[in-house]
Amino acid sequence: EAGVAQSPRYKIIEKRQSVAFWCNPISGHATLYWYQQILGQGPKLLIQFQNNGVVDDSQLPKDRFSAERLKGVDSTLKIQPAKLEDSAVYLCASSFFTTTDTQYFGPGTRLTVL
Amino acid sequence: DQQVKQNSPSLSVQEGRISILNCDYTNSMFDYFLWYKKYPAEGPTFLISISSIKDKNEDGRFTVFLNKSAKHLSLHIVPSQPGDSAVYFCAARLGGATNKLIFGTGTLLAVQP
> Residue B25 and residue B6: Cα distance in Å, rounded?
9
Residues 6+ apart with CB under 8 A from A58: none
> Residue A56 and residue A47: Cα distance in Å, rounded?
6
The confidence score (pLDDT) of residue B95 equals 74
Q: Kindly report whether the peptide bond that precedes residue A8 is cis, defined as omega within 30 degrees of 0.
A: yes
Best CA proximity match to B47, nearest among B91, B94, B16, B4: B91
Nearest CA in chain A to B40: A107
Interval B7-44: pLDDT, tens: 999 999 999 999 999 999 999 889 999 999 999 989 99
The answer to whether residue A97 scores a pLDDT higher than 90 is no
HEC string for A88-106: EEEEEEEECCCCCCCCEEC
Nearest CA in chain A to B10: A40
Residues 6+ apart with CB under 8 A from B18: B76, B77, B78, B79, B80
DSSP reduced 3-state for A86 = helix
- Within A1-114, strands assigned E span 5-7, 10-13, 19-24, 31-37, 44-50, 53-56, 65-68, 75-79, 88-95, 104-105, 109-113
Q: Does B99 touch chain A (CB under 8 A)?
A: yes
Q: How far is B11 from chain A (nearest CA, A)?
A: 15
Say if the Cβ atoms of A42 and B42 lie within 8 Å: no
Interval B68-93: pLDDT, tens: 999 999 999 999 999 999 999 999 99
Q: Kindly report whether the peptide bond that precedes residue B40 is cis, defined as omega within 30 degrees of 0.
A: no
Q: What is the band of A100 on the pLDDT scale with cuts at 50, 70, 90?
A: low
Interval A10-21: pLDDT, tens: 999 999 999 999
Nearest CA in chain B to A54: B98
